Amino acid sequence: MTTTQTHPSPLGTQLAFRHTPGSGPAVVFLPGYMSDMAGGKATAVFDHCIARGRECLLLDYSGCGESDGNFADGTLGIWRDEVLALIAAQVSSERVVVAGSSMGGWLMLLVGLELGQRLAGLVGIAAAPDFSDWGFDENQKAGLRNGETIYEDSDYGYDPMPTHAKFWQDAETRKLLGGAIDLHCPVRLLHGQEDSDVPPDTSLRLAAALESEDVQVTLVKGGDHRLSREGDIDLLLRTVDSVVEM
């Protein structure tokens, strides 16, 4: 079935997801902060997998999209566990390729670290690990430490964009770039050179931190944070294919 379904999260929240059966490795797409499975990249990957007879899973984190819950209650830890629960319950393929956009690129690393032998590869799109650190100034961090919600201007339809203290405080415990990341699968990282939200250097730092010997970074000239132009989407689909077919 490719219609939206629901599944209980580990905390009991009903999570919305779409799943198409097919050959493996299965592709699991993780959207960015305050994004959902209706986004252009997610739907392009899903439709591409359907056309190729490949298993694919999309989902909305609790508090996002069609899932139940309050966004203010969400954290990387909670959302990681939701992704893992849906993979365990819905994905039949033994092996999984996880693709993540922006915050979803941080989440894909946290998920990958828990998947063990099921992990076949990773595809990051403007992956943003550790943005709780480099994405905020000291005044903002002080407010978040004190339990405040901070708001920032946004170009993505959420104006202003909130960051809740619960999310930030949890994220600070899950930073990865300060040491080696114990992942050894093929990794492909796509990043727009004109990305004003996540510095392209972030993907280079991530590539250096990963223990895998098979890591490639592609910098896209003229690409912004969304990487949603037709050519960007084509590149994403080709990249997913290349990892799945290894």
- Token pair, residue 42, equals 């997610």
Supply the pLDDT for residue 155. Answer: 66
Give the domain extent around 44: 5-132+175-244
Distances (CA, A) of 45 to 9, 49, 101, 128, 181: 24, 6, 12, 20, 26
Q: Are 66 and 135 in contact (CB under 8 A)?
A: no
35, 62, 101, 195: the active-site residue: 195
Indicate if 102 belongs to the active site.
yes
Whether 221 maps to a domain, the answer reads yes
Whether 156 maps to a domain, the answer reads no
Whether 108 maps to a domain, the answer reads yes
Supply the pLDDT for residue 157. Answer: 58
62, 102, 132, 203: the active-site residue: 102
Whether 161 maps to a domain, the answer reads no
pTM (two decimals) = 0.95
60, 203, 225, 232: the active-site residue: 225
Domain of 24, CATH number, reads 3.40.50.1820
Supply the pLDDT for residue 153. Answer: 78
Whether 166 maps to a domain, the answer reads no
pLDDT mean values, one per 10 residues, the chain (246 residues)? 88 96 96 93 97 97 95 96 97 97 97 97 98 94 95 72 94 97 98 95 97 98 93 97 96
Domain count, the chain: 1
Whether 210 maps to a domain, the answer reads yes
Indicate if 191 belongs to the active site.
no
Residues in CB range of 162: below 8 A, 6 or more apart: 71, 72, 149, 150, 151
Supply the pLDDT for residue 158. Answer: 64
Indicate if 225 belongs to the active site.
yes
Whether 47 maps to a domain, the answer reads yes
